[in-house]
Chain A
Amino acid sequence: MKPLRTEVVIIGAGIVGAMCAYYVNRAGLKAIVIDRGTVASGTTGAGEGNIMVSDKSPGPELELALKSRDMWFEVAQDLGNEFELVAKGGLAVSRGDASSLFELSNSQSVAGVQTKRVGASEIQELEPFISKAIQNGVHYPQDAQCQPMLAAAHILRQLQRRGLEFIGHQEVLKIERKSENLTVRTSTLEIQSDFVVNAAGTWAGEIARLAGSELPIMPRRGFILVTAPLPKYVNHKVYDSDYVDNVASSDADLQTSTVIEGTQSGTILIGASRERVGFDKSISVSVIQRLARQATSLFPILAGAQLLRVYNGFRPYSPDHLPVIGADSLIPGLYHCAGHEGAGIGLSAGSGKVIAQLIKNEIPIVNPEPFSPARFQMAYL
């Protein structure tokens, strides 16, 4: 078996891996993307395609999200928007006391997010089918959405015309450091490279272990309910403002709050259940019922909508809920780009860019310190 030789090996053909490939390729480096399955067959294939700035509090993640959001549109311009990218805007609403929502939006606006407080009549204008009981909300015009599978597939396909290689069905068995090289071994291949990017999503911890390092990335289960195709009842990404509190929570108990949105295919997605249960793929009736109840109380017209499907995916998360982007502190040449939890689609462009910049020794678009793998690896040093 003659080993392949390249400059960068990217493990994972989800959206994060695809965006890493895009910026590594733009940086002029030769790269090979491998995946244990095919393109977008993990978390990316089970996501809504959220590119959101509204659900993040000021801080490093929001800073990355803002940059990343704009970069998505640049990628679409460069490669052609064949993945339904659209800035549909988000609407966070509050049923009761809106003070924490407004407090958040004020601070977000200071951090550079476009926000607009809206009252009952403006809410009705933005979302004519929303419950009349909703009095307060904040409109976030920057929130966007795409079809994440198509995005990953089109990016990789276009890059293959620009010299990138993509090889599916390659489960990594070992990553070894020999002299100046890293060798990635799969069941059928051996690839030597200068750099390896671990963009393996929920399997990122496993990949780190195979390289002799460690990374605390865990799976968090999420459900999305999908309705039958309906008229355009929901224009924006509409969510309960308590969703924002949930995202930041580390309480392992089941928490749900709703995010509702329409898709170009006419289905309505109801999501944002958060449950930490490991790799158990079963669906629970109580979660489905709770999401349905929250959705119909926000949009009463959805009571007649038929539930077609439920899909669950696993969001890769780290203990502090920030993604892990940067060089491994133990294995030279190994970079991690994982643990984006429910924000992987939105943060993928910025994260890929940061990885390419770190590899090229350039100054990254955001301060990479808070995302550094070292924050979890100090203990092992």
Chain B
Amino acid sequence: MGAGPAGLAAARILSEHSVSVDVFDQYPRAGGQYWRHAKNEPFPAESFKTTLTSSRLNWLFECSIWQIESEKSGHTIYAIQNGRTIERTYDALLIATGAIERPLPIPGWTLPGVMTAGALQSLIKGQGLIPGERIVVAGSGPFLFPVIESLQKSIQQSSSSNPSSDIRIVGIFEARKLSRWLLNSVGLLLNPEKVIDAMRFLINLKREKLRVTTGRVITSIKDTNSKNVKRISVMPLKGEKVSNNPTGQELDCDVIAISYGFTPDLTIPSILKLKTVNKEDDEIVMVDSNQRSSKLGVWAAGEITGIGGHEIAIREGEIAALDILGKGGSLTSAIRKIDRWRKQIFATGLARVYKVSKRWFEWNADDVVVCRCEEVSRDEIINSFRELGADSVRTSKLFTRAGMGMCQGRLCHRNVQDIARVFGSESTKISRPIGGAVTLGELSD
């Protein structure tokens, strides 16, 4: 399940053996978020091109998996593909459904033109569109780099094909200071190639006369009366809190791309009731060294077992596939496990460097919508704890409807959790009993 880096890496190995494999994905093409590409473009990763055409793999794109039932005879996937019901039973499942981007609620973040960094990336890479002329990229974490890079590349292309076009990045704000990289010194020592990557990126920025302002966060976005132009306030972040020293700045722009990292998409794991653990405040699927989950016949790989990026995801997918083939103890697997370990040290360090402040909801005294679907605000959520007796994300949600809307808490669960923590609440496990889009009509067939 999932044709991103982890799923494809597993499929590549499985396709070399005589097993029959179905690959499910909700999008029309393989690649996941990392190798997102436009319809007419070649697949971005050369080493997977033969995998995509392998006759041993059966691709099920644009599939919405809404339910999985496990019995002795196997795991039955119920999915909808173009209005058609798919019901198939498997001996082994590999879940590689990736992550959900995590933006932080800021007053004004619901205005059109404010989007996740991933959305900007998907428009650039998947649609060949730069959606504005004065663009701000803000948030925290390593994902900002590739977004800025592809934005920059795409701006260059657009100005070379159309000299009158005047698209500019007007601000890049990273919440955390560069000095925090010391927190990942061991990771850097084990992964020296990452230093080269970072240097290359910084040199590139300099050449483009772009500057990343570190230690700054956007604390409000206001609509100006002029067409689609928004005015943002940017303030220094000291530890967990916004400070007024040095004083903040204001800036006009039309597109604001925000990202504070990712949170694992536990929709499918929650349907299968896989055991999860907490890592850096994220709920992740618990797996053993061979990527086996708590359920017999179910493996998990990639971001759902901990946010780490595509390189770890590839290793995990490979390790899972080898174990599915009964080669979990092989040398090939052992080599991959060592590499996974090395990269995981780096990823864990990275999570420390770019740790999201748990008190983001105190950055601005003004109330802010937290659940975008049901339009539930921070103060309503706080009120449910203070006045109504909510004691967890689950009960707060039943009172306020935060997380009960169309997205089923995909965007707000993690953020409501941060607010709940202030009231002594333990984390609520993610529960999304219906995995994907399905209509009553499709269920009635």
Answer yes or no: A and B touching, Cβ < 8 Å: yes
Q: Which residues of A contact B (CB under 8 A)?
A: 13, 37-41, 45, 149-150, 153-154, 156-157, 166, 168-169, 225, 227-229, 265, 270, 282-285, 288-289, 292-293, 295-297, 302-311
A265 and B395 contacting across the interface, CB-CB below 8 Å: no
Of listed A45, A283, A308, A311, residue having the most chain B CB within 10 A: A308
- Count of B residues near A, CB < 8 Å? 32
**In whole angstroms, how far apart are the Cα atoms of A292 and B433 in the complex?**
15
From B398, B406, B441, contact of A45 by CB (8 A): B398
From A157, A227, A229, contact of B440 by CB (8 A): A227
- Report if A309-B387 is in contact (Cβ < 8 Å); known contacts: A40-B398, A150-B399, A303-B439: no
- B130 vs chain A, min Cβ distance (A): 32
B437 and A306 contacting across the interface, CB-CB below 8 Å: yes
- Report if A41-B395 is in contact (Cβ < 8 Å); known contacts: A305-B439, A308-B406: yes
From B392, B395, B408, B443, contact of A288 by CB (8 A): B443
From A149, A283, A296, contact of B67 by CB (8 A): A283
Contacts of B379 in A (CB 8 A): none
Q: Would you list the 7 A-B pairs with minimal beta carbon distance, nearest first?
A: A303-B441, A292-B443, A38-B391, A39-B389, A153-B388, A293-B444, A292-B440
Given contacts A38-B389, A228-B406, 15 further A-B contacts (CB under 8 A): A41-B395, A149-B398, A168-B391, A265-B401, A292-B440, A295-B440, A296-B440, A303-B444, A304-B440, A305-B440, A307-B66, A307-B439, A307-B440, A308-B434, A309-B433
B69 and A284 contacting across the interface, CB-CB below 8 Å: yes
Q: Decide if B28 is an interface residue (CB 8 Å cutoff).
A: no
Contacts of A149 in B (CB 8 A): 395, 398-399
Contacts of B69 in A (CB 8 A): 284-285
- B218 vs chain A, min Cβ distance (A): 30
Contacts of B387 in A (CB 8 A): 157
A304 and B395 contacting across the interface, CB-CB below 8 Å: no
Of listed A41, A166, A311, residue having the most chain B CB within 10 A: A41
**In whole angstroms, how far apart are the Cα atoms of A229 and B437 in the complex?**
14
**In whole angstroms, how far apart are the Cα atoms of A58 and B389 in the complex?**
38
Q: Decide if B148 is an interface residue (CB 8 Å cutoff).
A: no
**In whole angstroms, how far apart are the Cα atoms of A283 and B273 in the complex?**
11
Q: Decide if B59 is an interface residue (CB 8 Å cutoff).
A: no
Q: Which of B379-406 contact A (CB under 8 A)?
A: 387-392, 394-395, 398-399, 401, 404-406
Q: Which of B16-57 contact A (CB under 8 A)?
A: none
Q: Decide if B100 is an interface residue (CB 8 Å cutoff).
A: no
Contacts of A168 in B (CB 8 A): 389, 391
- B428 vs chain A, min Cβ distance (A): 12
Residue on B with the closest CB to A149? Answer: B398
Q: Decide if B360 is an interface residue (CB 8 Å cutoff).
A: no
**Could you give, for residues 295-335 of chain B, a 1 whenever the CB lies within 8 Å of some chain A CB and a 0 otherwise?**
00000000000000000000000000000000000000000
**In whole angstroms, how far apart are the Cα atoms of A168 and B76 in the complex?**
40
From A39, A285, A302, contact of B388 by CB (8 A): A39
A229 and B408 contacting across the interface, CB-CB below 8 Å: no
B440 and A38 contacting across the interface, CB-CB below 8 Å: no
A307 and B391 contacting across the interface, CB-CB below 8 Å: no
A308 and B391 contacting across the interface, CB-CB below 8 Å: no
B440 and A309 contacting across the interface, CB-CB below 8 Å: no
- A313 vs chain B, min Cβ distance (A): 11
**In whole angstroms, how far apart are the Cα atoms of A270 and B444 in the complex?**
13
